[in-house]
Amino acid sequence: MQRLQRIFAFVGVLVVVETTGAPIGLAAPEHVATIEQECQSQLGYTPARCACFGVTASAQLTDKEQAFVAAQVVKDQAAITEIQGTMTVNEMMKAGQLMTSAAQQCP
């Protein structure tokens, strides 16, 4: 039950209320590495399971969506605001759903 609460807390970080900001240069492999690292530190999952989360992010999300998830999980509000300004609502929803889908796909 506690692990499930941590998942929801982690996913809750991805909730987006408002979109504002300006264009940003994205596309960096460190975004996936950040997602993997925070998976381990915030959820306590194994490195193998978190690597699976990274693979899932790489396969399912664009570079912009990966950057958005990475900014969300490290709570970088300036980056979140900047990236949001370049995203559609569908892109934000897709990024927000990553942790739920990865949790189901990664044993």
Q: Cα(50)–Cα(5) distance, rounded to whole angstroms? A: 17
DSSP string computed for 39-101: HHHHH---HHHHHHHHHHHHHHS-HHHHHHHHHHHTT-HHHHHHHHTT--HHHHHHHHTHHHH
**Any idea how long the chain is?**
107
**Structure confidence by residue, pLDDT tens digits, 16-58:** 323 333 333 454 688 999 999 998 998 888 999 999 989 999 9
Compute CA distances 61 → 1, 3, 6, 65, 78, whole Å: 28, 25, 22, 6, 21
**Structure confidence by residue, pLDDT tens digits, 59-94:** 999 999 999 999 988 989 999 999 999 999 999 999
- The answer to whether residues 65 and 80 touch, using CB atoms and an 8 Å cutoff, is no
